[in-house]
A and B are shown apart, each in its own frame.
Chain A
Amino acid sequence: MSEASADFWKRVADSDLLYSFRRSPGAIIAAVVTLGLGLAALLAPWIAPHDPFDPAGLSILDNFLPPAWEEGGDARFLLGTDDQGRDLLSAMLYGLRISLAVGFASVILAMIVGVWLGLIAGYVGGFADVIIMRVADVQMTFPAILIALLLAGIFRGTAGPGSSDSATMMLLIISISLSFWVQYARTVRGSVLVQASKEYVEAARLIGVSSIGIMVRHILPNVLAPVLVIATINLALAIIIEATLSFLGVGVPSGRPSLGTLIRIGNDYLFSGEWWITLFPGVLLGVLALSVNLFGDWLRDALNPKLA
Chain B
Amino acid sequence: MVSFIFSRLMQAIATMLVVTLIAFVLFRYVGDPVNQMVGIETSLEQRETLREQLGLNDSMSVQYLRFVVRALHLDFGVSYQQKEAVSAMIAQRLPATLELTLVSVIFAIGFGVPLGVLSGLHPRSLASRAFMVLSLIGVSLPTFLIGILLIFVFSVQLGWLPSFGRGETVLIGGWSTGFLTSSGLQSLILPSITLGLFQMTLIMRLVRSEIMEVLPTDYIKFARARGLSDRVIHFGHALRNTMIPVITVTGLQIGSIIAFSIITETVFQWPGMGLLFLQAVQNVDIPVMAAYLMLIAFLFVTINLAVDLLYVTVDPRIRLAGTPA
Contact yes or no, A282 B289, CB < 8 A: no
Of the stretches B52-60, B106-114, B174-182, B276-284, the one at the interface is: B276-284
CB of A294 within 8 A of CB of B263, answer no
B152:A145 contact, CB within 8 angstroms: no
Q: Which residue of A lies closest to B18 (CB)?
A: A138
Chosen A-B contacts, 21 in total, with CB atoms closer than 8 Å, are A138-B15, A138-B18, A141-B297, A142-B255, A143-B256, A146-B259, A146-B296, A153-B284, A154-B289, A158-B31, A236-B140, A247-B142, A248-B262, A248-B281, A249-B282, A250-B281, A263-B148, A271-B163, A279-B152, A282-B149, A286-B145
- For A267, the closest partner residue in chain B by CB is B148
Q: Is A289 at the interface (CB under 8 A from chain B)?
A: yes
- CB pair A286–B282 under 8 Å, yes or no, is no
The yes or no answer to B100 lying at the interface (CB within 8 A) is no
Chain A interface extent, by class: 35 or more
How would residues 11 to 32 of chain B score, 1 for a CB under 8 Å from any chain A CB and 0 otherwise? 0000100110000001000110
Is A290's CB within 8 Å of the partner chain B?
yes
Output the least CB separation between A97 and chain B (Å). 18
Interchain CB contact under 8 A, B284 and A243: no
Contacts A143-B259, A154-B30 given: A290-B284 contact, CB under 8 Å? no
Residue of A nearest to B292 (CB): A150
Contacts of B26 in A (CB 8 A): 154
Residues B259 and A142 in contact, CB atoms below 8 Å apart: yes
A141 and B15 within 8 A (CB): yes
- Distance A240 CA – B140 CA, assembled complex (angstroms): 8
Within 8 A of B (CB), among A252-279: 260, 263, 267, 270-271, 275, 278-279
Chain B residues lying within 8 Å of A106, measured Cβ to Cβ, are none
User: How many angstroms between the C-alpha atoms of A141 and B278 in the bound complex?
Assistant: 20
Distance from B155 Cβ to chain A, minimum over Cβ atoms (Å): 8
| Residue B270 lies at the interface, judged by CB distance under 8 Å to chain A | no
Evaluate contact between B281 and A263: CB separation under 8 angstroms.
no
Q: Is the CB of A270 within 8 A of B136?
A: no
> Cβ of A297 < 8 Å from any Cβ of B?
yes
Q: Which of A153, A271, A275 contacts B280 (CB 8 A)?
A: A153
Interface positions, chain B 180-202, Cβ under 8 Å from A, are: none
Q: Hey, which bits of chain A sit against chain B, CB under 8 A? A: 137-138, 141-143, 145-146, 149-150, 152-154, 156-158, 236, 240, 243-244, 247-250, 260, 263, 267, 270-271, 275, 278-279, 282, 285-286, 289-290, 293-294, 297
Looking across the interface, which residue of chain B has its beta carbon closest to that of A156? B284
**Given A150-B289, A293-B136, 8 other A-B residues pairs in contact with their CB atoms under 8 A:** A141-B15, A146-B296, A244-B143, A247-B266, A248-B281, A250-B278, A263-B148, A275-B156
B318 CB–A CB distance under 8 Å: no
Given A236-B140, A248-B262, verify A141-B300 contact (CB < 8 Å). Answer: yes
Complex: A290 Cα to B256 Cα, angstroms: 21
Inter-subunit contact A157/B284 (CB<8 Å):
yes
User: Which one of B31, B156, B282 contacts A250 once the chains associate, using CB atoms below 8 Å?
Assistant: B282
Q: Report which B residues bind A (CB closer than 8 A).
A: 15, 18-19, 26, 30-31, 136-137, 139-145, 148-149, 151-152, 156, 163, 255-256, 259-260, 262-263, 266-267, 278, 280-282, 284, 286, 289, 293, 296-297, 300-301, 304
With the chains together, A294 CA to B136 CA distance in Å? 8
A200 CA / B148 CA spacing, docked (Å): 56
Are A290 and B262 in touch, CB under 8 angstroms?
no
- Contacts A143-B256, A143-B260 given: A289-B140 contact, CB under 8 Å? yes
Contacts of B136 in A (CB 8 A): 290, 293-294, 297
Q: Which of B30, B139, B266, B304 contacts A248 (CB 8 A)?
A: B266
Inter-subunit contact B156/A270 (CB<8 Å): yes
**Chain B residues, Cβ within 8 Å of A294:** 136, 140
- Cβ of B140 and Cβ of A248 under 8 Å apart? no
A248 & B18 in contact (Cβ 8 Å cutoff): no
Q: Is the CB of B280 within 8 A of A290?
A: no
Q: Which residues of A contact B256 (CB under 8 A)?
A: 143
CA distance A167 to B2 in the complex (A): 51
Known interface pairs A146-B296, A149-B262, A275-B156; A243-B142 also in contact (CB < 8 Å)? yes
Complex interface: chain B residues within 8 A of A248 (CB): 144, 262-263, 266, 278, 281
Q: Give A197 to B55 CA distance when docked, in angstroms.
A: 53
Q: With the chains together, A260 CA to B145 CA distance in Å?
A: 9
Identify which of A138, A150, A152, A293 contacts B140 (C-beta below 8 A). A293
Rounded to whole Å, the gap between the CB of B80 and the closest CB of chain A is: 10
* Contact between A150 and B293, CB atoms less than 8 A apart: yes
A145 CB, min distance to chain B CBs, angstroms: 7
In the complex, the answer to whether A244 meets B259 with C-beta atoms within 8 Å is no
* Residues in B whose Cβ lies below 8 Å from that of A154: 26, 30, 289
